[in-house]
Amino acid sequence: MVGSGAREHALAWKLARDGAEVFTAPGNAGTAAVGENLPVAADDFPGLLAAARKHACELTVVGPEAPLVGGIVDLFHREGMRVFGPTAAAARIEGSKAFCKQILRRGDVPTALHREFRSAAGAVEYLESRDDMPVVVKADGLAAGKGVVVCAGRAEAVEAVNALARDPQFAVAARTILIEERLDGPEVSVMAVTDGRTIVTLPPLQDHKAAHDGDVGPNTGGMGAYCPTPFVDAATSAEIEARILVPTVHAMRRSNVPFHGVLFAGLMLTPQGPKVLEFNARFGDPECETLMALLDSSLLEILDAAVDRRLESIAVPTWRPGAAVTVVMASEGYPGPVAKGRAIRGLDEAAAVDGVTVFHAATRAVAGPDGPVAVNDGGRTLAVTAVGDSLANAKRRAYSAVRCIRWDGAWCRKDIADKGIDRERIAAAATEPER
Ligand code: AMP
Ligand code: GLY
C-alpha cells in the first residue's frame, strides 16, 4: 500500500481482513497496527519498487493521486510488477481539468459548460465581454484543492484569475485557466472500480468539503462522509452509471488511455440531472473509509480481478445493510499549517465503541514512557468511522467515539450526515398516510 492517510489505513485494514499481509509505505501509526510500515516516501519510486521486490509483494495498491500522476504505475508495469491504479496518461483525468473536459466531451457526459484560456489576460477579456454571472475559475493542474474558486460574479472572477496568475505555482501547475458555468445542487461522490472495460460501481455517498458546520468556511479535503445517501435513489444511481461512468471509461479507451483503477466522479445533482464537477483517479478520502466499513465482499478479490482485467468474472460485491458515517478529526489550523507532535489520547476507548473503527490520517508513533504513543502529524489527523443500522445510529456512534479522543487543538464538524438524516426525515414525512 502506497500512502499515509486514512484512506490508505482503511484500505490496508480491509485488505488485512481479506487475508493479505500488508506493507504500507510510508504509512502512519494506524497502518503499523494492521501490517508493517516501510520507511519509503510515496514519491520515492525506486525505493518503492525495491521495497515491493524485497518483500515479494504480489500486488501494489496506490492510494494518493500524486504518485499516480507521476507515473508510478507505468514504472511498476515496465518492471513486471502487479499494481492497482491508472497510468500517468490515464491519471490526467484528475491531473488536468482540460484533459478531463476533452474526455467528457468525447463521451458526451453531462458537465458544466466551460472555456479554456492560455493567459490571464485572455480569461479577463472573456469575463468582461459577457454578462455578469456566477462562474467558477479553475487552474488546470493539480493544486491540492487550491485551484478552484467559486465566484458570485464578474468582479470576484477577475480577482480569482489575477490571483492565479500571481501564484508562483501557476507557471508549473496551471498554465491553462478554465472558466466554468456555476452549477447548483447537492454534491455527491460516486466511485467505480474498473479494469478498463467492465465497471463495478460502488455505493454513492456524500462528503462535507467545507471546514465548518452548515457548509461554511474554507474548502478542505473532506471533513466527513456518510453512506448511503438519500440524495441518490436507485434511478439516479443507474443514470450516473449509464450516462457518466460507463461513457467515461469508454471514451478513455477510445482515446487510447484506458483507465484501470478507481474512477471517482465528483457530481452535482442539478435540476437538469447529475453533472460532473471533476474526476479523480483514486479513492476519495474520507469516502473510502466509509465504504470500507460497509464492504462485506473481499476487496482483495476485486482489486486482483481489476489488475488481471477480469472484473466481469467476479460476483457483484455485497455490502453490509445499514449505514456508515465518518467524522474527520483535524488539528488546530487546518486547512492551513498546523502544529504537530501533540500526543493523542483515548484511541483505545474510542475503538471500543460498538461499530467504530478509528482510521489514522496523519499520525506518527513516538516512544513514550509506557510504550509508543500516537502524535498528530498533519491537518486531517483521524477519521472516525462507525457503522449502524441507520444513519442516525451510525452518527451517534461515531460522535461517541470522537468524544473519547483528545489532543491539544483537536476539532471536527458536529453535523456530519445531518443533510442525509434531514432528507430521510422529510421523505418519511411525505410518505406518511394522512390521518
Ligand atoms: P473540484 O476541485 O473541481 O472538485 O472543485 C472543488 C469544489 O468546487 C467542488 O466540490 C464544488 O463544491 C465546487 N465546484 C467546482 N466546480 C463547480 C461548478 N461548475 N459549479 C459549482 N460549484 C463547483
Ligand atoms: N473527499 C474528496 C476527495 O477525496 O477528493
What's the CA-to-centroid distance between 327 and ligand 2, angstroms? 14
Please tell me the residue having the least CA distance from ligand 1 atom 7: 148
Judged against a pLDDT cut of 90, whether residue 356 lies above it is answered with yes
What's the CA-to-centroid distance between 190 and ligand 2, angstroms? 11
Same domain, 315 and 194: yes
Helices 287-294 and 6-17, packing angle to 10 deg: 20
In the Cβ-directed half-sphere of 300, how many Cα atoms lie within 13 Å? Answer: 13
What's the CA-to-centroid distance between 394 and ligand 2, angstroms? 21
Torsion sign (Cα): 75, 78, 83, 87? positive
Give me the pLDDT at residue 409, please. 97
d(CA 143, CA 163): 14
Point out the domain boundary residue: 63, 84, 105: 84
Give me the pLDDT at residue 431, please. 81
Q: How far is CA 239 from CA 244, 260, 261, 381, in A?
A: 8, 22, 21, 36
| Model confidence, pTM | 0.95
Q: Terminal CA-to-CA distance of the chain, rounded, Å?
A: 57
Same domain, 431 and 364: yes
Domain count across the chain:
4
Which residues lie with the beta carbon below 6 Å from any ligand 1 atom? Answer: 112, 136, 148, 150, 180, 182-183, 187, 209, 266, 277-278
d(CA 244, CA 248): 6
Please tell me the residue having the least CA distance from ligand 2 atom 4: 284
Same domain, 315 and 325: no
Judged against a pLDDT cut of 60, whether residue 65 lies above it is answered with yes
Same domain, 175 and 188: no
Q: Please indicate, yes or no, if residue 142 is contained in any of the structural domains.
A: yes
Same domain, 334 and 284: no
Q: Please indicate, yes or no, if residue 71 is contained in any of the structural domains.
A: yes
In ligand 2, the atom with minimum distance to the C-alpha of 225 is 1
d(CA 340, CA 266): 31
Give me the pLDDT at residue 359, please. 98
Same domain, 307 and 351: no
Same domain, 296 and 236: yes
Tell me the best of 96, 104, 109, 136 to mutate to test the pocket of ligand 1, counting ligand atoms within 8 Å of each CB and taking the most: 136
Q: What is the average pLDDT across 330-357?
A: 97
Q: What is the average pLDDT across 246-251?
A: 98
Point out the domain boundary residue: 303, 320, 337: 320
For residue 392, the tally of other CB atoms under 10 A from its CB is: 17
d(CA 76, CA 84): 10
Q: 255: closest CA among 213, 196, 308?
A: 196
Q: How far is CA 104 from CA 27, 99, 119, 166, in A?
A: 34, 9, 23, 30
Judged against a pLDDT cut of 90, whether residue 2 lies above it is answered with yes
Give me the pLDDT at residue 221, please. 92
Pairing of β 177-181 and β 135-139: antiparallel
Contact indicator for 180, 117 with CB cutoff of 8 Å: no
d(CA 386, CA 350): 10
Contact indicator for 92, 227 with CB cutoff of 8 Å: no
Q: What is the average pLDDT across 75-98?
A: 96
Structure-block grid coordinates of residue 217: 468556511
Give me the pLDDT at residue 400, please. 98
Helix, strand, or coil (residue 208): coil
pLDDT tens per residue across span 293-343: 999 999 999 999 999 999 999 999 999 999 999 999 999 999 999 999 999
For residue 423, the tally of other CB atoms under 10 A from its CB is: 16
What's the CA-to-centroid distance between 277 and ligand 1, angstroms? 6
Structure-block grid coordinates of residue 190: 460516486
Tell me the best of 208, 219, 264, 268 to mutate to test the pocket of ligand 2, counting ligand atoms within 8 Å of each CB and taking the most: 264
Give me the pLDDT at residue 435, please. 60
Q: What is the average pLDDT across 64-69?
A: 96
In ligand 1, the atom with minimum distance to the C-alpha of 147 is 2
Please tell me the residue having the least CA distance from ligand 2 atom 2: 284
pLDDT tens per residue across span 203-231: 999 999 999 999 999 889 999 999 999 99
Q: Which ligand has the minimum distance to the alpha carbon of residue 150?
A: 1
Give me the pLDDT at residue 428, please. 87
Give me the pLDDT at residue 361, please. 98
d(CA 95, CA 259): 14
Same domain, 325 and 315: no
Q: Which ligand has the minimum distance to the alpha carbon of residue 206?
A: 2
Give me the pLDDT at residue 141, please. 78
Give me the pLDDT at residue 171, please. 65
What's the CA-to-centroid distance between 206 and ligand 1, angstroms? 14
Contact indicator for 231, 348 with CB cutoff of 8 Å: no
Domain of residue 399: give its range: 321-435
pLDDT tens per residue across span 258-293: 999 999 999 999 999 999 999 999 999 999 999 999
Give me the pLDDT at residue 219, please. 87
What's the CA-to-centroid distance between 13 and ligand 1, angstroms? 31
Give me the pLDDT at residue 147, please. 79
Q: 15: closest CA among 52, 81, 54, 63?
A: 63
Point out the domain boundary residue: 132, 150, 181: 181
Of 144-148, 188-192, 202-206, 337-341, give the lowest mean pLDDT range.
144-148
Q: How far is CA 168 from CA 70, 259, 365, in A?
A: 20, 31, 35
| DSSP E strand boundaries for 69-121 | 83-84, 114-117
What's the CA-to-centroid distance between 54 and ligand 2, angstroms? 32
Q: What is the average pLDDT across 387-404?
A: 98
Give me the pLDDT at residue 170, please. 65
Judged against a pLDDT cut of 90, whether residue 165 lies above it is answered with no
Give me the pLDDT at residue 430, please. 86
What's the CA-to-centroid distance between 136 and ligand 1, angstroms? 7
Helix, strand, or coil (residue 368): strand
Judged against a pLDDT cut of 60, whether residue 174 lies above it is answered with no
CATH number, domain with residue 117: 3.30.1490.20
Helices 97-106 and 246-254, packing angle to 10 deg: 100
d(CA 247, CA 97): 17
H-run or E-run covering 394: helix 391-404
Confidence of residue 363 (pLDDT cuts 50, 70, 90): very high
Q: Please indicate, yes or no, if residue 89 is contained in any of the structural domains.
A: no
Confidence of residue 33 (pLDDT cuts 50, 70, 90): very high
Residues near 352 by beta carbon (within 8 Å), at least 6 away in sequence = none
Give me the pLDDT at residue 148, please. 87
What's the CA-to-centroid distance between 148 and ligand 2, angstroms? 14
Q: Whole-number mean pLDDT of the chain? A: 95
pLDDT tens per residue across span 87-101: 999 999 999 999 999
Contact indicator for 191, 382 with CB cutoff of 8 Å: no
Q: Any idea what the Cα angle at residue 13 is, between residues 8 and 15, rounded to 5°?
A: 95
For residue 45, the tally of other CB atoms under 10 A from its CB is: 18
Same domain, 52 and 142: no
% of residues, the chain, pLDDT over 90: 89
CB of residue 284 inside a 6 A radius of ligand 2 = yes
Q: Please indicate, yes or no, if residue 91 is contained in any of the structural domains.
A: no
Judged against a pLDDT cut of 90, whether residue 191 lies above it is answered with yes
d(CA 255, CA 317): 29
Place of cell 430521510: 424
